[in-house]
Amino acid sequence: MAAAAVRYGIVGVGMMGREHLHNLAHLAAEVEREQFVKVRVTGLADPHQESLRLGLQLADELGLPAPLTFSGHRELLDSGLCDAVIVSSPNMTHYEILMDIIGHRQPHHILVEKPLCTTVQDCKKVIEAAKQRPDIIVQVGLEYRYMPPVAKLIDIVNSGTLGQVRMVAIREHRFPFLVKVNNWNRFNCNSGGTLVEKCCHFFDLMRLFAAANPVRVMASGAIDVNHKDELYDGKVPDIIDNAYVIVEFDNGSRGMLDLCMFAEGSRNEQEISVVGDIGKGEAFVPESIVRLGKRTEGRDGVVTIMAEDERIKYQGLHHGSSYLEHLNFLSAIRAQGASGPSVNLSDGLLSVAIGVAGQLSIEKGRFVTMEEVLGS
């Protein structure tokens, strides 16, 4: 039997688009051994010619057949070359591109980079449009779920080992935002704001650990160190570089984010703590370890576990999680709708909504309810 082919197009071939190209090249080499499916990258779309050039160069370096290039996503869609589309364009373009893909006469499965959109309203419109296309799988790129130590901690929490989760604390201490094409990520109007652009990952994880939905958010944040001496078209960047965010959930549990983007001198970029009424679990990235302890056993009973996933064939920028994300997406495509995407549009909406609530809380200096942000 001839192997079936899943043909991918990438919309937005900047840093993340090329990261997806890396992952797809490794995925293609791996899944072809099964002899049941082939993965092909058949098209790249980007209005920025230098990004297209770098994308073609990378495809050649990876030994991939040269994909066709397009200056816009509509041309890619109309070409008929793709079964699935990776949307890795700047945040503020997601809404228009998603609506065009969903509304296209030919079905294209979608993996859209986080955030789903920059506003709650746009997320909702995408969700409503997608309801009319049951022939399309839409997966949201909240791949931090798959980082081996995070995935291990999720399994521990789900097993009940920690008891009822009461507190989730996530610390991300890292480097400043990277330079992107035309510096689009320097402004809230393009990115949705730091708590949407960067932190939707962590709000998604809080929901998973708490197994509950958010009720209200309180945040404090500012621009204290980064980008203050930069100027683009006469404008100074307005993205915050540090914040504390408290999220209250409908089951009484609480989450807290500690974000600092001028903390390069950190051993770990992410430190995640989940505390239940029985015990405590922690995950550390990039050390890739998990620590687990129970109240009854105290400090001496804490164990350290190395977290690995042998399925990962490419570590990339996110410690193998993007590779696992692609495995999940391909599995959903091959299941032909029998199973939904591993991260759905509702997950994408709520991760954005918590970020929007946090941004609004900083602006207003008060708690912001999710009802206020989500509306009816």
pLDDT tens string 146-157: 999 999 999 999
Just give the CATH number of 144-317+349-375. 3.30.360.10
Distance of alpha carbon 162 from alpha carbon 204, whole angstroms: 20
C-alpha closest to that of 177 among 189, 165, 163, 191: 191
pLDDT for 315 beyond 70: yes
Distance of alpha carbon 85 from alpha carbon 20, whole angstroms: 11
Confidence class of residue 335 from pLDDT cuts 50, 70 and 90?
Answer: confident
Confidence class of residue 2 from pLDDT cuts 50, 70 and 90?
Answer: very low
User: With helix as H, strand as E and coil as C, how does 101-123 read?
Assistant: HHHCCCCCEEEEECCCCCCHHHH
CATH class of the 6-142+324-344 domain in this structure:
alpha beta
pLDDT for 3 beyond 60: no
- Bridge partners for 243 per DSSP: 221, 259
Distance of alpha carbon 298 from alpha carbon 292, whole angstroms: 11
pLDDT at 36: 65
pLDDT at 339: 75
Average pLDDT over residues 126-141: 97
pLDDT at 12: 98
Contact 124, 118 (CB under 8 A): no
C-alpha closest to that of 247 among 172, 190, 195, 194: 195
Confidence class of residue 4 from pLDDT cuts 50, 70 and 90?
Answer: confident
pLDDT in tens, 349-360: 999 999 999 999
User: With helix as H, strand as E and coil as C, how does 170-217 read?
Assistant: EEEECCCCCCCHHHHHHCHHHHCCHHHHCCHHHHHHHHHHHCCCEEEE
- Greater confidence (168 vs 29) lies with 168
pLDDT for 194 beyond 90: yes
DSSP per-residue string spanning 26-76: HHHHHHGGGTSEEEEEEEEE-S-HHHHHHHHHHHHHTTPPPPEEESSHHHH
pLDDT at 280: 98
Q: What are the residue boundaries of the structural domains of the chain, listed by start? A: 6-142+324-344, 144-317+349-375
* Rounded to 5°, angle at Cα 280 from 278 and 284: 165
How far is C-alpha 255 from the chain's CA centre?
19
Average pLDDT over residues 94-110: 98
pLDDT for 179 beyond 60: yes
pLDDT at 376: 59
pLDDT at 34: 66
pLDDT at 340: 80
Q: How confident is the prediction for the chain on average, in pLDDT?
A: 95
